Each structure stands twice: as C-alpha cells, then as structure tokens.
A and B are shown apart, each in its own frame.
Chain A
Amino acid sequence: MTRGASEWSPEAYFLNNVALGVCVVIGILVFGAMFIAMFRFRKSRGAVAEKWSHNTMLEIVWTTIPVIILIVLAYLATGGLRTFADTTGSEMTVKVTGYQWKWRYDYVDYKGKAIEKVGFMSKLDHESDETRQLNSGLDPNAVKVDGYNTYLINVDKPLVVPVGTKIRFVITAGDVIHSWWVPALGWKMDAIPGIVNAAWTNITEPGEYRGQCAELCGQDHGFMPIVVKALPKAEFEKWLAEQEAQAKQPAPAAASTAAAPATAQATDAPVSQGHQG
C-alpha cells in the first residue's frame, strides 16, 4: 500500500502496517506450533496419542490476549476514522459526479469565494481508449506520458487542485453507483445517485495522482480513471483565474461546461442521506 501524498493517507498506511505486523506475529506463533506438532506428534515417529482435551488456563489466555490486541487496534482505527470524518475547516470545495463512464468535476468554492461555472468532464484519454478496444493490435506498453506508462490511468482533462489546502469533496452520481478512488489520497468514497457524500484531502506534495473507479458501474467500469493534478497554490490560482475567464466568455470553449446543467440533472433528486457536513 502506498503511504500516499496527503495529510490523512498515512493513517490508512500506518494502520495497514500495524495490522499486518500483528497478523504476521500471530501467524508465526500459530503456524509454528502447528508445524512443530506435525513433526513431533507423527504416528510414524512412534507418537502415542494423549487423552487430554481441555485446559481452562490456556483457553482463558488465548481468549484474553486477542481481546487486548483488538482493543489496541480498535483504538488506533477509531482515531483514523474520527479525523477522516471531520470535513470542517475546508478552504475549497469540489463536486465530483460519476457518470457511465466518466467523471465530472465542478469547482464550488475556493477560500470562501464561490466559483462560477468552472467544471468539466474528465474521461479516459484517447490513446488508452484506442488501445483497449478488443483486438486493437495496439500495445498497452506503448501508452506513455513522459516515459511513465499511463495505459488506462490517464484522462483527457485532470482535476486540478492546490497543495497545502484542505479540500472538501462532495461526491455523487448521475446514473449508477461509482466510487472515487485515488490511492495516494488514502481513501475511496462511493458516488451514489441521490446521495451526496463528503470526504476531504489535503495534498502535501505537488504531482499527478492517479486512480480508478472502484465500484462496478457497467461495461466500461474499468475505463473511467481519475487523475488529480496537484499544483503549488500560486500556480493553481493562476489556472483557476484562467478557467473563470474562459467561462465568462460565451466562447465555444465553454461547450463542455454548458452541458453541465443537462447532465447534472439527476443529482437534483432528493438528497436522502448525507455524511458529516
């Protein structure tokens, strides 16, 4: 598992490592005992079966010790859950909407200021899409950006966000259930029609972070990747200003945003359940 590149993602990583360590230690003890038993108590070595079938002391011990281990793990995990659930104090909001089979990102506000009409669809890049067709004859290994293979994990238009900013995502879907997952952020959150879920991240390092839809959503479920491009704050603000300027012109560049109200209709359905905040 990746350590990730956000403020929260080390929580999941740390918990994974602790739990794995606990399991490995218990595994060595239990399987070790089994293998010793299998070698020492073989009939072919003349072992004679003993008669006992009960030992209260032992049973109490191996019920109590796991309980103690579980309490420690539960304590650690609860801390991670509480920090994850706290979406307050965010400086920016992005609305994520899942569609069959692409994502839509709408910028809602940044530093307390509402953003007008900045939003776009983000879908699988053209090169991956050509290559992934059945018997395309194209080599997945050849799909590269800057020497890095991006087959099925690149999009035409990435989500651009600033680093060092607590970003709140409000996540929903327009048709069926999807799930927005970027491993480097440390979590995934289902995008469900009629429901708005909230999650947050605070990316520490600039870079491109890739992920994929994680909930089966139909034939092209495997072909709706996510790319998050984290920029330093100043660069992000410049980018955002450009986007806002573009959106104000009635230029053809606004075609993708103009489609927004129509495609986003389903999300206006009654919201029956919400996460914190």
Chain B
Amino acid sequence: MAHAATHDHHDDHHGAPSNFFVRWCMSTNHKDIGTLYLVFSLLMFFIGGSFAMVIRAELFKPGLQLVQPYFFNEMTTMHALVMIFGAVMPAFVGLGNWMIPLMIGAPDMALPRMNNLSFWILPFAFALLLSTLFLPGGGPAGGWTMYPPLSLQGDSVAYLVFAVHLMGISSIMGAINIIATILNMRAPGMDLLKMPVFVWSWLITAFLLIAVMPVLAGAVTMLLTDKYFGTSFFNAAGGGDPVLFQHIFWFFGHPEVYIMILPAFGLVSEIIPTFARKPIFGYKAMVFAIASIAFLSFIVWAHHMFAVGLPLGGEIFFMYATMLIAVPTGVKVFNWVSTMWGGSMTFETPMLFAIAFVILFTIGGFSGLMLALAPADFQYHDSYFVVAHFHYVLVTGAIFAIIAGTYYWLPKWTGHMYSEFWGKMHFWNSVIWVNVLFFPQHFLGLAGMPRRIPDYNVAFANFNMISSIGGFLFGASQLIFVGVIIHAVWFSKKKAPDRVWEGAKGLEWTVPSPAPFHTFELPPVIHDEELAHGHVED
C-alpha cells in the first residue's frame, strides 16, 4: 500500500533497495519494518473494526435481525483477538521499531534479521486465525479468553492455538530485540535516566512480554492436548480443573493489558511536554510509576475471577493488590496535569489526542477502581459495565495514544506535514462518537445487561441504539484517519522541518525529515539540553 511511494522517495537516500520484494519482504531496516508493523496494524484495526460493526448492528435493536447467535459469538471473539494481537500490540511494536533507535541514537535495532522474522510471522498467524471464519465449523466462538470447557467445543481449536503460538513467538522476539537495543545500543551519553519516557515504557513492557507470553503459550497448549490428545488439565470429569485455566490465562492476561497501556503512557509523556513547551513533571516518578504498575500487574490476576468462588482470603488479597494500582496510575495522571500547568500550550492534533487520552483513560481508571471492589464487582462482573471499562482504557487509552503518536511522528516519517484541518476533524469526530459509543454501556451494565449476548430485553433498547449509532460514526471517523495518512504520504506539498514541533526535544528531531534510510551510523554527540529529559534531578 504505502510501499510504492515511500519507496520512491527513499530512492535518493543511499542503501534502500529498489526492488519492491527485496526492500519490504527481506528488510532488516528498523524504519521499514516499523512501517510494515504500522500498516499491518492499521489493516487489522479495520478488520477488527468491521467485526465490531457487525456486533453493534445486531445490537441496534432487540430481536435478531442479521446474524445467528453462534456467528455473533465468533464476531465478539475475533474482534477481541484481532484488536489485541493484531492492532494494538503490533502498532506499539511498530512505533517502537521506528522510534527507539532514533530516540537513543542507535543506527538500527540490535537484531535486524530477527526483527524481519518477528514481523513476517504475523501475517501468517492472522491468515491462520481469520481463515477459520471461512471453514466448516466456523471460527472460535468461546470468547478471546478461551475458557474451557466451552472453547474446547469449537472445531477451530487447533487453528486458534497455533495462531496464538505464532503471535507469541513474534511478540517474544520483538521484546528481546527491544531490550537488546535499549540496553546495548544507546549512544554514549544517553544514560538510562536520560532516555525518553517512551523508551523506558517499552523497556519495561518488553520484560512483561517475555515473562507472560510463554505462560499464554503453555495455557493454549494444554487446551490443545485436552482437545486432541485426551489429557484432562481442565476437564473436571478427568480430575482436572476448569478454573486452573483461568488462573493461568489471567496470569498472562493482566500483564497483557499493561503491555497494551504502558507504551501509551510513554507516548503521552513525550507528546504533552512537547506541546506544553515545558519539561515533563517528575520524570523519575513517571518511570518509577511505570515500573510499579508492571510489578503489580503480576499479583492482581484473580480480580478477573471474583465470581468463580475464590476463598475469602483470595478475594481480599486480590482486591487490595488491585486497588494499590490506583496509586502509581494516579501519580501519572497528576504529573501529566502538572506538566501542562504553567506551560505554553498549543493544540495540534497529537496534543488533542493526548489530552483526550488523559481524560478518557482516567475515566476508564475510575471504573477500574470501582471494579476492583469485589462486593460491587459481584454485580459489575461480566456485565456491560466491564465492556465500557475496558473499551475506555483500550480505545480511548491505547488506541488514542497510538493515533496521537502517529500524528506526532508522521511528518518525521514522511517528510510532509499532514493536514491539520482533517486531523482535527478526525479528532473531534473520534472523541465525540467514542463517548456516544461507550459511555451508555456503563448504564447498560448497571441496569443488568450481561456482556456477549446477541439480543436483549427491550428495557436495554434505548442505550443500545445510542451506543450503536456512536459505534457506526466512530468507525466511519477512522476513514478520515486513513485519508489523512494517504494525503501526508503521497499528496501533501508542505515540507516538514527537521524539528517538526516547536517544543519538541530529543534525538529523533535532530535527523532530517523524512528520516533517511540509515541514521546515526556514527553515534551522535549528546548535548543534555537537546534531550527532553537531559537534566533530571527529580
């Protein structure tokens, strides 16, 4: 897609292969692989989004009008799997690939060939996963959480398990690469505590990935052997325990949700200081907060399971541990606000998305705190309240941060300014419709509507219709995003300066726009005052 044109305009720089196949399929260049990740993630965002459109269309009014309940379940399952593993995670890896070497003054990622492999596994993983929709028996329909025994009733278990294995391998390789790059490839003078917060957040995220992806692989392998090889890990009739799967799954699953939000924290911590023209408030506190959230993520998994009948002591422990997360998360929000306080702010599209992130992610954090209170969770659990909660943290959290990051660095990648007018159109449409989409879902949950149901009582009709209208318009708004990107890549006449934003600091703004095929072949000389966090005393 974007390949041909970027290809042309990279031609004048040395080193970029002119053959399309060689350039993109055999690439070992961090920028090209980053682009591949981002384009792939955008494609998956639309595929997963189309599944969401099917869901919202069926839920538009009571009664079944469009799809059978089983297909509806396939849609909810695939929507989650595609969005989590196909859209959000690869987008962050793409941003990391593009920007980490530029931000720390490295010529490329530490392990370029593995970088190529870790990307090119993904299209195969998703081809495998999505192909199940066209096979007899249909795709996985037991929820992305794959709880047995239900998930074992499907005919696509093997496809699902191998697709998850491939995604896991890809993620682990990506994480190893990022850790190796950050720890070994920093330019002299780029101390750990001078790194951008985005780099810090990715370093911590990468450790989370390495720690938990093998756990997921183990869990799904046990599903596979339970289904096809007669084992009874999760089969009560054979002496196994269905709840064991949930413990293993959420031991992966909770760190996973932070894998999807920590890099977003990093992005927002870069963007807000740039447009406030003021250094980030409490740099060390920010880094420490990310690290504490990462640590806590390992000891809170059973808060997804308050209704499985945990012993009282278990409920209490997981409730307290979960509530603790509010402290470092609160620190981050307060620090972002303090960064803005006393600044000199302008509101370009990346800043608008970053501000919307802070507000709307905080709303998701509030509902998260409410969900942490186990006795109240007995009501919220598996209701639309939970659906509203995690879409606030994932859509207006992770995805808004990704969009903010894209607008922030798009001029650096393409060498052209995007259209500020259409960027703002994209922002206002997104921020309005996403709230119309998800805010009423809080009310539906509190009124007692369970999640993952294709049809509902007429008492839930009004809020569902509002939510669906918001959903269609939010989905349509994302076409503006594609338009802005296509325009910026191929049609924009406005050249981007090297330092695209007036208040931008950091090494990535010292290289030309568009960033040449190879950068920092010689390590840059670091001047602390040019870094975003060069003089850290606090």
A176–B242 CA distance with the chains assembled, in angstroms: 9
How many chain B residues sit at the interface, stated as a range, is 35 or more
- Residue in A43, A55, A151 whose beta carbon sits within 8 Å of that of B458 in the complex: A151
With A27-B366, A38-B340 already in contact, the answer to whether A2 and B448 are too (CB < 8 A) is yes
Q: What residues on B are CB-neighbors of A266 within 8 Å?
A: 236-237
Q: A58: CB under 8 A from chain B?
A: yes
Q: What residues on A are CB-neighbors of B373 within 8 Å?
A: 15, 19, 73, 76-77
Interface residues of B in 438-468 (CB under 8 A from A): 446, 448, 450-459
Task: Count contacts between A and B, CB distance < 8 Å.
Answer: 298
A109–B203 CA distance with the chains assembled, in angstroms: 58
How many chain A residues sit at the interface, stated as a range, is 35 or more
Name the CB-closest residue of A to B443: A1
Q: How far is the CB of A199 from chain B (nearest CB, A)?
A: 8
Q: B342: CB under 8 A from chain A?
A: yes
Q: What residues on B are CB-neighbors of A56 within 8 Å?
A: 538
Q: What residues on A are CB-neighbors of B346 within 8 Å?
A: 42-44
A274–B366 CA distance with the chains assembled, in angstroms: 32
Q: Judge whether B307 and A82 touch: CB under 8 Å.
A: no
Stretch at the interface among B119-127, B278-286, B423-431: B278-286
Q: What residues on B are CB-neighbors of A253 within 8 Å?
A: none
Q: A57: CB under 8 A from chain B?
A: no
Name the CB-closest residue of A to B446: A1
Q: Judge whether B379 and A67 touch: CB under 8 Å.
A: no
Q: How far is the CB of A136 from chain B (nearest CB, A)?
A: 7
Q: A49: CB under 8 A from chain B?
A: yes
With A34-B337, A179-B382 already in contact, the answer to whether A197 and B141 are too (CB < 8 A) is no
Q: B276: CB under 8 A from chain A?
A: yes
Interface residues of B in 285-342 (CB under 8 A from A): 285, 307-309, 311-312, 315-316, 319-320, 323-324, 326-327, 330-331, 333-334, 337-342
Q: Judge whether A183 and B379 touch: CB under 8 Å.
A: yes
Q: B57: CB under 8 A from chain A?
A: no
Name the CB-closest residue of A to B285: A59
Q: A206: CB under 8 A from chain B?
A: no
Q: A192: CB under 8 A from chain B?
A: yes
Q: What residues on B are CB-neighbors of A22 within 8 Å?
A: 369
Q: How far is the CB of B400 from chain A (nearest CB, A)?
A: 15
Q: How far is the CB of B464 from chain A (nearest CB, A)?
A: 12
- Residue in B150, B282, B312, B340 whose beta carbon sits within 8 Å of that of A217 in the complex: B150
18 pairs from A and B in contact (CB 8 Å cutoff): A1-B446, A11-B375, A12-B379, A27-B362, A34-B337, A62-B331, A62-B334, A66-B330, A77-B375, A132-B63, A136-B63, A177-B242, A189-B309, A189-B378, A192-B236, A216-B142, A216-B143, A275-B311
Chain B residues engaging chain A, CB cutoff 8 angstroms: 62-65, 67-70, 73, 141-143, 147, 149-150, 153, 236-237, 239-243, 276-283, 285, 307-309, 311-312, 315-316, 319-320, 323-324, 326-327, 330-331, 333-334, 337-347, 355, 358-359, 362-363, 366-367, 369-370, 373-376, 378-379, 381-383, 446, 448, 450-459, 503, 537-538
